[in-house]
């Protein structure tokens, strides 16, 4: 039986743009080192992931984080707080697909003496499609479920968030699928997280004057990782 590319439109899914950096303190120079964790470049050819910052000013660190976000953010997808409102449609006809959400994260735990900065952004309008190679003639009732690979960013995201790859279970066969998307319009959510292995802070970066809150929380996190470094 021949396959064809099937595109399901969706409702209830949101595109999430996200990135992170880890910051440590060099024991010899006492300067901050920023690890960009470049996700767009394969690990074996990266050569500029570690940056020594010239100072500890909140503005310097914030600009470094936002520049990295603009250059190399990745896409995740989210159902929000529940899976119940997600719909898959074929030419505006709703398809009853059961969703299995597999919890997980590829992000490592935060080591002692490390501060992790995460930023993610969600825009108002989202168009998310599921693309799969399925038989030309198919009874959708024979699709057992679709499995989403969870990516919680090591628990930082309080959402049902997942990567762009998924699996459809059809007549006991696993079919690899993927999501394609675009988003546009005003920013409805932009959050910066400052985490250590002892603390975490959530900052609403859509608010006017959020930089002051960022500077306060950053100072506290720097004090914690400095203490970790002295105790190491």
Alpha-carbon distance values, 154 to 22, 112, 167 (Å): 14, 15, 22
**Structure confidence by residue, pLDDT tens digits, 18-74:** 999 999 999 889 999 999 865 444 444 344 578 899 899 999 999 999 999 999 899
Identify whether the C-beta of residue 140 lies closer than 8 Å to the C-beta of residue 96.
yes
**Structure confidence by residue, pLDDT tens digits, 172-231:** 899 999 999 999 999 999 999 999 999 999 999 999 999 999 999 999 999 999 986 565
Domain boundaries, the chain: 3-231
- Per-residue pLDDT, averaged over 155-168, amounts to 90
- Per-residue pLDDT, averaged over 128-138, amounts to 92
Rounded to whole angstroms, the Cα distance separating 25 from 53 reads: 10
- Per-residue pLDDT, averaged over 62-87, amounts to 93
Cα within 13 Å of Cα(173), Cβ side: 9
pLDDT of residue 46: 43
Alpha-carbon distance values, 104 to 142, 145, 148, 151, 155 (Å): 27, 19, 10, 5, 9
Tell me what percent of the chain is helix, strand and coil, each rounded to the nearest 5. Answer: 20, 50, 35
Name 218's Cβ contacts closer than 8 Å, sequence gap at least 6.
58, 61, 194
Rounded to whole angstroms, the Cα distance separating 116 from 23 reads: 6
Rounded to whole angstroms, the Cα distance separating 13 from 9 reads: 10
Size (the chain), residues: 232
């Amino acid at each position: 039986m021949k396959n064809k590319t099937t595109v399901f439109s969706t409702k209830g899914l949101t595109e999430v743009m996200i990135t992170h950096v880890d910051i440590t303190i060099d024991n010899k120079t006492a300067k901050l080192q920023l690890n960009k964790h470049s996700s767009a470049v394969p690990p074996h050819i990266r050569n500029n992931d570690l940056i020594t910052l010239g100072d500890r000013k909140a503005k310097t660190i914030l600009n470094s984080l936002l520049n990295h976000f603009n250059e190399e953010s990745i896409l995740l997808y989210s159902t929000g707080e529940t899976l119940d409102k997600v719909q898959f449609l074929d030419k505006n006809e709703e398809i009853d697909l059961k969703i299995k959400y597999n919890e997980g994260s590829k992000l490592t735990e935060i080591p002692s003496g490390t501060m992790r900065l995460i930023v993610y952004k969600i825009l108002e309008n989202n168009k998310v499609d599921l693309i799969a190679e399925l038989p030309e003639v198919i009874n959708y009732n024979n699709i057992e479920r679709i499995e989403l690979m969870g990516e919680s960013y090591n628990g930082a995201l309080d959402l049902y968030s997942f990567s762009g790859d998924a699996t459809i279970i059809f007549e006991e066969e696993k079919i690899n699928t993927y999501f394609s998307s675009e988003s546009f319009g005003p920013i409805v959510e932009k959050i910066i997280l400052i985490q250590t292995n002892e603390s975490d802070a959530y900052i609403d970066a859509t608010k006017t004057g959020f930089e002051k809150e960022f500077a306060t929380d950053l100072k506290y996190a720097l004090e914690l990782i400095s203490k970790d470094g002295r105790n190491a």
